[in-house]
């Protein structure tokens, strides 16, 4: 009797322990599948994703013109009053100044010191708005909307004259933006592969030099390929082949060098920092869909200080404005390239010293 009872008790006890053992197994499997390091990385991805949404929506959800430079060509009796009226508009969307004549206005638009110029016709009720759609169709639309409203208040109208039109294949002037974006993506993906590809070893000084040289070769090929695609193949941007090729090579190498630098300093986390710099911050501020003059203050401030914005505006200026004023942009891009190269080499030296030091400490002969 007692034996039967003991077996029953053992059976009941075994049944009561099975769920607990199962729970422990599931908990252990979860910890094994999702480590604390993985959780931290997932949280990082979530923050990067939210930053992406914040940056793009923040930059594009409510574009407003701010102090866009325009000229006013008008008779002496009308010019000062019209200029003052434009500058008195709430929010100061335009910053108007008088220009001596139509020829001067055209020259300043072509030199990118003016975005547009309003030419008053004293013998008609229709005035002319000189614009350069190649400088940004969003800017043209914004200036046209403001000047049309100003003219309507005095019962006048305005007609548009495009001084520097877009090339036929460059729809909405976005080709340069996508070209630069493609170059940057290629640069940082190539550099990322050096660090995370199968069998890749930690970057020593010598290995970093080899990777930088390989990146340079890739940059030359990538810059050439991009220009061939948008030029001879698609006809989106024609002409200026060599200048765009050189610019593309510099942009690709810059993106790759910065990626290698981040990887050298922070390991795989460096790739996330690269995405933060070039995609989350760089793309919405680059002046693609909306030019810098229409962006909120933060994105407008960083636009020309990042390789994205400097690159996009450089393409625009090379193709349409005779490379006017690109030296500052080239300096910015080159500074990132030089900085990325130097940090990559210094980080590899630091990592190499750490490896040697650890090997010496862990070697019994060295300790003896």
Please give the Cα distance from 320 to 315 (Å, whole number). 8
What backbone phi and psi angles, to 5 degrees, belong to 287? 85, 30
Residue 208 above 70 pLDDT? yes
pLDDT at 234: 96
Residues of the chain with CATH 3.40.50: 68-162
Residue 147 above 80 pLDDT? yes
If you search the block for the tokens 């959800």, which residue do you land on?
Answer: 61
Q: Residue 35, SS3?
A: coil
pLDDT at 1: 47
Residue 3 above 70 pLDDT? no
- Which position has the higher pLDDT, 270 or 195? 270
Nearest to residue 99, comparing CAs of 122, 77, 81, 75? 75
Arithmetic mean of pLDDT over the chain: 88
pLDDT digits (tens, 9 = 90+) for 226-249: 999 999 999 999 999 999 999 999
Above pLDDT 90, what percent of the chain?
Answer: 73
Nearest to residue 260, comparing CAs of 322, 211, 226? 211
Bridge pairing between strands 68-73 and 94-98:
parallel
Please give the Cα distance from 74 to 10 (Å, whole number). 104
Residue 225 above 90 pLDDT? yes
What backbone phi and psi angles, to 5 degrees, belong to 136? 140, 115
If you search the block for the tokens 């090997």, which residue do you land on?
Answer: 359
pLDDT at 79: 92
pLDDT digits (tens, 9 = 90+) for 125-142: 999 999 999 999 999 999
Above pLDDT 70, what percent of the chain?
Answer: 86
Least confident of 1-15, 167-181, 340-354: 1-15
Please give the Cα distance from 216 to 238 (Å, whole number). 25
Neighbours of 368 (CB within 10 A): 5
Read off the tokens for 295: 């962006």
Quick one: 5 exposed, middle or buried, by C-beta within 10 A (0-12, 13-18, 19+)? exposed
pLDDT at 361: 75
- H or E segment to which residue 36 belongs: helix 36-60
Enumerate helices (H) and strands (E) in the chain, giving the number of each: 13, 5
Please give the Cα distance from 96 to 117 (Å, whole number). 9
Residue 256 above 60 pLDDT? yes
The answer regarding whether domain 68-162 maps to CATH 3.40.50 reads yes
Please give the Cα distance from 120 to 137 (Å, whole number). 23
pLDDT digits (tens, 9 = 90+) for 61-79: 889 999 999 999 999 999 9
pTM listed for this prediction: 0.86
Please give the Cα distance from 328 to 310 (Å, whole number). 8
């Amino acid at each position: 009797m007692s034996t039967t009872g003991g077996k029953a008790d053992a059976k009941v006890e075994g049944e009561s322990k099975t769920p607990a053992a199962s729970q422990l197994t599931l908990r252990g499997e979860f910890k094994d599948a999702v480590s604390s390091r993985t959780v931290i990385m997932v949280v990082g991805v979530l923050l990067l994703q939210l930053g992406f949404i914040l940056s793009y929506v923040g930059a594009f959800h409510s574009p407003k013109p701010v102090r866009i430079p325009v000229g006013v060509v008008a008779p002496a009796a009308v010019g000062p009053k019209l200029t003052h009226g434009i500058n008195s508009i709430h929010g100061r969307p335009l910053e108007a100044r008088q220009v001596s004549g139509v020829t001067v206005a055209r020259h300043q638009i072509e030199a990118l010191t003016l975005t547009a110029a309003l030419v008053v016709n004293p013998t008609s009720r229709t005035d002319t708005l000189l614009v350069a759609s190649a400088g940004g169709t969003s800017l043209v639309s914004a200036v046209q909307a403001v000047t049309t409203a100003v003219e309507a208040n005095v019962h006048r109208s305005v007609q548009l004259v495009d001084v520097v039109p877009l090339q036929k294949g460059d729809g909405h002037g976005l080709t340069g933006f996508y070209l630069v974006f493609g170059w940057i993506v290629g640069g940082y993906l190539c550099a990322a592969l050096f660090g995370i590809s199968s069998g890749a070893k930690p970057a020593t000084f010598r290995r970093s030099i080899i990777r930088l040289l390989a990146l340079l070769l890739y940059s030359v090929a990538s810059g050439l390929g991009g220009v061939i695609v948008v030029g001879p193949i698609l006809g989106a941007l024609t002409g200026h082949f060599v200048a765009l090729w050189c610019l593309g090579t510099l942009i690709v190498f810059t993106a790759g060098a910065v990626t290698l630098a981040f990887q050298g300093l922070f390991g795989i986390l460096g790739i996330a920092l690269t995405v933060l710099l070039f995609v989350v911050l760089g793309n919405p501020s680059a002046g693609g869909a909306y030019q810098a003059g229409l962006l909120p203050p933060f994105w407008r401030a960083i636009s020309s200080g990042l390789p994205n914005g400097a690159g996009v505006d450089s393409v625009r200026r090379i193709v349409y404005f005779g490379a006017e004023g690109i030296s500052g942009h080239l300096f910015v891009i080159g500074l990132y390239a030089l900085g990325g190269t130097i940090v990559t080499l210094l980080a590899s030296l630091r990592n190499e010293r750490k490896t040697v030091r650890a090997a010496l400490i862990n070697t019994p002969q060295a300790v003896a």
